[in-house]
Structure 1
Amino acid sequence: MSHQALALVLVAALCHALWNIAAKYVDGDRFVFVWLYEALSTVLWLPVGVVLLLRTDRPWSWALLIASVGSAVLHIAYNLLLQTGYDRAPLGVVYPVARGTGPLLSMLVAIALLGERPGWHPALGGLAVVIGVAVVATRGFGRAGTLSRPGLTYGLATGATIAAYTLWDGHAVDELALLPLPYFALTVLWQTVLMTPEVVRRRQRVAATVRGSWRPAAVTAVLSPVAYVLVLEAMRTTPVSLVAPARESSIIVGSLLAWWLFKEPGPVRRLTGCVVVIAGITLIAWG
């Protein structure tokens, strides 16, 4: 991985951890919250995406339409699973499990279906990721040790959607040569459109959610697109099997902030698990 790609991914990881911390502070309906920050993202980024798109030789294509709609569906699933997980389990469990399993699944599918051959290191790295996730998802060891079932369940489900949209979007910007920012701008537009009918049905909760959660929604609307566009830019020159693991360095920041801000228990154990996951991610990236 080039230094430029690594820098893009690390900045993206920091932005990603920060917006996830902001998303934990939701007061109101979490479905409406997701729609709110997607709508704000659309207002912020769609004009920029359209301007960049109009400067290209081929501003419109069926590939752009189909790819962005598919990405929107996958991101809606991701966002709703993540928000439900944050509502029912500690961030310090859901976030590391999701971000740890996502790149592992991305790597395996990239190898199996996309023909990528990153080397022998991913096998050892993948094992480390699994062990680290197991440490993060348990509440201690011995007789007192129990499994955080909601955190593990929603973390794994979210990780599966991460793998799905990472591979889908990687194919869009690499093989289809779609520009990252216009592609992302259309994706958030479709997310807003697809979620609007359900928000209309929940319209009595909209005002309360906006009043209680407009600040975290605004933070998410800015940082989430920045984080992902940087990742898409990195994937234009670097294989998905390398970018996907490297971006998950955000789990260290996320776990530390979860302990500091939310006073979640077991900081030493969770940080240990995160370090093991990062070690696995490093091995995968070296592959």
Structure 2
Amino acid sequence: MTLFVFFAVLAAAAMHAIWNALVKVHLDRFLSITLMTLGMGVAGLVVLPFVEVPRAEVWPYIIASVIFHMGYRTFLIGAYRAGDFAQTYPLARGTAPLLAALGGMVVVKEVPAPLAILGILLLSAGTVVMSFRGGAHLERLNLRAVGFALGTSIFIASYTLSDGSGARLAATAQSYAAWLFICDAVGALVLCLILRGRQALPVLARDWKAGLFTGVLSGAAYWIVMWAMTKAPIASVASLRETSILFAMLISVFALGEKMTGWRGAAALSIVAGVVALRLG
């Protein structure tokens, strides 16, 4: 991974943390994610006249990614219902890079260097610990909640591998991203109507400005990630993306005045060590 790609992915991670910290939408998590996805679709429509139409061999990756994203959102709902998602979601984010690394070995024949593998492990461990803020509530996790969390991580790893492979096959990462965002927005709207019904539409329309803002910022961040996956190993990029939780911690401590605990400090050191290992690997 070149230094430029490395810092580009770090910038994408920071963007992800910033929009999570600044934007407060008065919706539940599922509707918030749906609204953000619709905003990404609008951003895709804006750039559509300036990008190529994907070739026939690229469309299976876009369709697969939309399906994986729908599965991801469905398992999100299951996680909300099964237990405290503030606890289960870290398991999804922490294990997804590991699954992406394993999947990358099989799907795209990318075997990370030993130092990169160490970096992936350190980043994953730091992400989980950081999200749990020390893991004080690990004992409360139930098998159903863990199942939904791991299912979520499988879908995250799946759409990561699909998008990395599709972006590499497409004419440009911009082309792949624009068409994916539009198709994914349609899929998200269909899923929302199936699960929440028509009554969700006025609720989404009420917060359209927040959705557009988060969609543009999130779309830009994920476009950088997809572009980076055309330049560097997918597993390394996917893992480096999770440094967003480190940026979120820095924002919470220095901007929001939250306490820096020993566990959060240890998790931060683990993430930083993982970043260094990925860069050297």
Question: Structure 2 length normalisation: TM-score?
Answer: 0.79
Alignment correspondent of 1:207:
202
- What is the DSSP-based 3-state SS (H/G/I as helix, E as strand, rest coil) of the residue aligned with 1:28? coil
CA separation of 1:243 and 1:131: change in aligned 2, threshold 3 A:
closer
Quote the offset at 1:9 in angstroms.
0.9
* Residue 18 of structure 1 pairs with residue 18 of structure 2: yes
Question: Structure 1 length normalisation: TM-score?
Answer: 0.78
* Residue 226 of structure 1 pairs with residue 220 of structure 2: yes
CA deviation profile, 1:55-104 (whole Å, cap 9, x unmatched): xxxx442223222111112223334555776896475x566544432222
Distance 1:153 1:268 in 2: 29
Unmatched runs of 5 consecutive residues or more in structure 2: none
The residue type paired with residue 141 of structure 2 is R
The residue type paired with residue 9 of structure 1 is V
Quote the offset at 1:171 in angstroms.
0.9
CA separation of 1:159 and 1:236: change in aligned 2, threshold 3 A:
same
Identify the match of residue 267 of structure 2 among 262, 273, 284: 273
- What is the DSSP-based 3-state SS (H/G/I as helix, E as strand, rest coil) of the residue aligned with 1:203? coil
* Residue 183 of structure 1 pairs with residue 170 of structure 2: no
> How many residues are paired up?
276
Quote the offset at 1:238 in angstroms.
1.6
CA deviation profile, 1:188-230 (whole Å, cap 9, x unmatched): 222222233444452223323433x444422321111100111
Quote the offset at 1:2 in angstroms.
1.2
Alignment correspondent of 2:141:
149
Quote the offset at 1:47 in angstroms.
3.4
- What is the DSSP-based 3-state SS (H/G/I as helix, E as strand, rest coil) of the residue aligned with 2:156? helix
CA separation of 1:2 and 1:266: change in aligned 2, threshold 3 A:
closer
CA separation of 1:104 and 1:274: change in aligned 2, threshold 3 A:
farther
Unmatched runs of 5 consecutive residues or more in structure 1: 54-58
CA separation of 1:103 and 1:145: change in aligned 2, threshold 3 A:
closer
Alignment correspondent of 2:33:
34
Alignment correspondent of 1:115:
109
Distance 1:83 1:224 in 2: 21
- What is the DSSP-based 3-state SS (H/G/I as helix, E as strand, rest coil) of the residue aligned with 2:170? coil
Distance 2:90 2:272 in 1: 10
The residue type paired with residue 56 of structure 2 is W
RMSD across aligned positions (CA): 3.5
Identify the match of residue 282 of structure 1 among 236, 257, 276: 276
